Structure 1
């Protein structure tokens, strides 16, 4: 019974992540939606640390690695082995940051709306580490 329940939970999680990968977001909508994120984060050529780190080059960047930003313990541990952010990982993270890192997260917001997350991630993925659009 427990084994069947674990399988069902794993299958549901996989289908959610797969759905994120199959349905690309709208970068123009993501740019508008990013205004909610811009309270704490910058992106672009002149991005600086605010409440949170800049999000330049976030897709493909090691988790918890922006130089000069003081990440929480759980986030640092999540990226300690060199794990980098993927679009699928960001999709899961934005739904529940604390659950994703497995501990406390400095990111207090949760974004349950899947299309919102897809759009924002598609917008963010356009930027390289220097803040220039790819």
Structure 2
């Protein structure tokens, strides 16, 4: 009986995990307003202080044509860093955690729901 309850409880945790990580792209667009000072997201958009990030989810890091990346970002990109949802979450929470010595001057997003929303928005764009 205890084993059955534990299995059911564990299954419930796994079923709840995707819902906790889901985000609202419309709310994420509002969160992205913090990023607009340095980044564009429209297809074919220009690089600014930061690179254009249209279609960034799933793409290799440090690969936007015409943008000059920090030495550390280039090093990590050469090592195969890709903008997975997990890597984006780490980077957007605190850029220095993923790219120590990088040049992104952003303190990060600490609110989990805002992170989920922003990533949903990035996936959509």
Matched residues, number? 108
| Bigger-Rg structure (1/2) | 2
**Structure 1 outlier segments of 4+, above 4 Å:** 19-22
1:65 maps to which of 35, 60, 63 = 63
2:48 maps to which residue? 50
Aligned-CA RMSD value:
1.7
Residue 125 of structure 1: how far off its partner (Å):
0.7
- For structure 2, which runs of at least 5 residues remain unmatched after alignment? 1-16
- For structure 1, which runs of at least 5 residues remain unmatched after alignment? 1-18, 128-134
Length-normalised TM-score, structure 2 = 0.79
Length-normalised TM-score, structure 1 = 0.74
Alignment partners' CA distance in 1, 2:18 and 2:29 = 18
